[in-house]
Structure 1
Amino acid sequence: MAQLKTSSAQMVADARARIDEIETKDLIAMLDDPNLVVVDIRDVRERQRSGFIPGSFHAPRGMIEFWVDPESPYFKDIFGQQDKTFVFHCASGWRSALTTATLQDMGFKASHLREGFSTWEKQGGPVAFPDAKS
C-alpha cells in the first residue's frame, strides 16, 4: 500500500488548529439564540438512528460546498443569511472540522461542535427523532 502524504488524523488536527471550536455545553446554552443555525452534516441514516439536535438543518457532507456557494446551482438560501451564526457538527467532530476549514477557505464564516453529536445527549442536549413516516 502506498504511503499517504498526509493522514486523515493530521488533516483533522490541522483543521482544528485554525477554526473556531465550540464545546457541547456552550452550544446547548446557545440554542435559544434566534441567530444560531446548527448544521448537521451526518448521513441521513445517522440522524435516523441517533436522533438530531431539534431545529438543526441537515446538509449532507457531500454537498455542503455547493449548498454554501451562491454561484452554485445547488445553493441553499439558508446559507445566504448574513446575520446568522453557523455551527456545523457531525458525530465526533472530525468531518465537521474538515468541513468548517474548507468553508473558511471559501470565505464562509462558521464554527463547529468540537466533540460532535457523540456527547450531546450525555451533556443534557435535547434530541429529536424523525417522524416514522419520513
Structure 2
Amino acid sequence: MIIKSSQTLVSEALKEVKTITADEALKLSNEGKCSLIDIREKGELDKMGRVENSNHIPRGMLEFWLDPEGPYFKSGKLDMSKDMVLFCAGGLRSALAAKTLKEMGFEKVSHINGGFAAISQSDFKII
C-alpha cells in the first residue's frame, strides 16, 4: 500500500486549481465578482480576525454546505454564480478544498496564495 503524503496531495492540487494573489482577490471582491470563502476553523477566526465581506464555511463542512442536493446545503449563503475564492491560514487547506470543489463540478474556483497570512499583509480589512 502506498500512502500519499499531505505535501504530495497539496502539490497535485496546486497543479489543478487556479491560484491568485491576495491583491487579485481584493480586486474581484471590490468589483463584486466573487464570493470570498474563509475555510479556517472558528477558533482561528476568533484568534486572528475575519476578513470583511467573507463567508465562513469551515473546511470540514465545505462539501456538505455547498451540495445543493444534500441535507446540510446552506441555501442563499453564497451567490453560486460568482467565482468562489477560498482561503485558509496559509494556502494549503484552501488548495485541497478548491480541488475538491472542482471535482464536485464547480468551475469558477480559485484559492489565495499564502492564505490569511497574505491577506493580512494586503489592503483587505480585517475585523
Superposition TM-score, scaled by structure 2 size: 0.91
Distance 1:82-1:63 versus aligned 2 partners, 3 A rule: closer
Query: For residues 84 and 65 of structure 1, what CA distance do their matches in structure 2 show?
Result: 17
Measure the CA separation in 2 of the matches of 1:122 and 1:13.
Answer: 24
The sequence identity of aligned pairs, in percent, is: 35
Deviation at 1:82, TM superposition (A): 4.0
Aligned residue in 2 for 1:121: 120
User: In structure 2, how many angstroms separate the alpha carbons of the residues matched to 1:29 and 1:81?
Assistant: 17
| Deviation (angstroms), 1:115 | 1.0
Q: After TM superposition, where is structure 1 displaced by more than 3 Å over at least 4 residues in a row? A: 78-82
Q: Where do 5+ consecutive residues of structure 1 fail to align? A: 129-134
Q: What is the RMSD computed on CA atoms of the aligned residues?
A: 1.7
What residue ranges of structure 2 are gaps of 5+ in the alignment?
none
Q: Deviation of residue 35 (structure 1)?
A: 3.2
Q: In the superposition, relative to structure 1, how do residues 16 and 70 fare at CA in structure 2: closer, same or farther (>3 Å)? A: same
- Structure-2 residue corresponding to 1:101: 99
2:54 matches 1:32: no
Q: Aligned letter for 2:22?
A: T
What one-letter code is carried by the residue in structure 2 that aligns with 1:77? S
Secondary structure of the equivalent of 2:98?
helix
30-39 vs 86-95, which moves further = 30-39
Displacement of 1:123: 2.5
Residue identity in the other structure for 1:119 = A
Q: Quote the residue 1:86 is aligned against.
A: 84
Q: Which amino acid aligns with 1:58?
A: H
SS of 2:40's equivalent in the other structure is: coil
TM-score normalised by the chain length of structure 1: 0.86
SS in 2 for 1:77: coil
> 1:10 corresponds to which letter in structure 2?
T
Question: Matched residue of 1:127: which SS?
Answer: coil
Say if 1:35 and 1:83, in contact at 8 Å, map to a contact too.
no
Within-5 A mapping of 1:54-93: 54-78=52-76, 81-93=79-91
**For residues 124 and 82 of structure 1, do their structure 2 counterparts lie closer, same or farther at Cα, with a shift above 3 Å needed?**
closer
Per-residue deviation at 1:13?
Answer: 0.6
